Amino acid sequence: MPILANILISGLVAITSFVGAYKYLPLSLFETLETQTRTYGSTITTIAGSDTLSASRSVINTNFSNLNTDKFELSDWYATTSAAQITTLANLATVGTITSGTWSGTAIAVAKGGTGTTSPSANLVMIGDTTSGLKAVAPGTAQQVLTSNGVGADPSFQSAIIDQTTDYNFTGATRIKNLHASSTAANPITLNGVAYNTPSTQGAATTTLFNDGSGNLTWLRPEYSLVASTTLATQTSASTTLSWSGTGGSDLKIIISIPAWNSGVTNVYANFNADTGTNYTWGQTTAGTRTSAASDRAFIMGETGSAAGVFYADININNVASSTKIATWTGFKNTAELDGGVLWNNTTSKVTSITIGSGTGAVMSAGTRISIYASRE
């Protein structure tokens, strides 16, 4: 019986203690315990330290419900991909530099070091702008280059401009196609340190550039230049005429070379500008024998009989339009030396063609070569 009595007495004491704590124990006793626990951000109602448990029953139940709803499970503390209860985060002050992931938010503001736009214009060059972050440069045309317009101004596409006051030094191979260059005495072209002033017009055919010793270039004929020539491939029974364009030089040189003087050829004749009138007076010394005559068709060279052989003559002509033309020649027929001269009584025209043939009915030998050289004007 003593044992049963002890149990009943202990139970009665426990009940009495609980009722006493429920009715009279202040909640400030539990505040210390609450402040030592982790808070999870739930919404709870504050209970005054003087409130009793019985008077705060409904508030305590509501707070427990909120704590249960907003609880943060232990597994959430160690989550690697998500935390189900987190819906918003006001800031990430402790995150630091983002080193991975893909940014897919709105445009980063200019003030934050961004461009201020998520849609820059296609195919346009973008430049900085203090208010909008980026702006586009107006498109140019093909071959234009982006050029600075100075401090405080936007660059723009413009045609390339070369500073003609600056010296440019090229150390490697320089290739220029279709070079267009001009020069004057004041601004000559300098090649390898030598200055040249070129003419502004094209020269005549067969002319070349001559230097006056001071770098001034002029179109002139060479002292003598070839203006007409022929070499007969076969024998011909007709005469041969050579003509040349232009007015000719003030002096002419005609070279006639016949490799095989055909039997029956008694002479070689010539006339100028197809003039076959009685306008020629000529004379010749052949092997010491003097012959002279006036001819109604031409002047005669090498009239020494019909023996076969070679013929060569070098004729020099004064070719001034307003003067009587005077020609002299030297040469050989076979072994006989030739010296002669002719007057062409024409004071209006220069010689611009010559006809050469061999005796009446004779044949010009194959390989016969005739060359005409004109001096500078």
The tokens 């002096």 sit on which residue? 251
CA–CA dist 113, 107 (Å, integer): 11
Percent of the chain with pLDDT over 70: 71
**DSSP character at residue 111:** G
pTM given for the model: 0.49
CA–CA dist 229, 206 (Å, integer): 14
Q: Is the pLDDT of residue 331 over 80?
A: yes
Confidence of residue 221 (pLDDT cuts 50, 70, 90): confident
Q: Is the pLDDT of residue 257 over 60?
A: yes
Confidence of residue 211 (pLDDT cuts 50, 70, 90): very high
Q: Is the pLDDT of residue 40 over 80?
A: no
Q: What integer pLDDT is reported at residue 34 of this predicted model?
A: 45
Instruction: Supply the mean pLDDT for the chain.
Output: 77
The 10s digit of each residue's pLDDT in 169-210 is 888 888 889 988 889 988 899 989 999 999 999 988 777 889
Scored b (16 or more CB within 10 A) or e, 257-284 reads bbeebbeebbbbbbbbeebeeebbbbeb
CA angle 357, 337, 265 (to 5 degrees): 30
Domains of the chain (ranges, CATH numbers):
2-74 (no CATH), 175-220 (no CATH), 225-375 (2.60.120)
Q: What integer pLDDT is reported at residue 50 of this predicted model?
A: 76
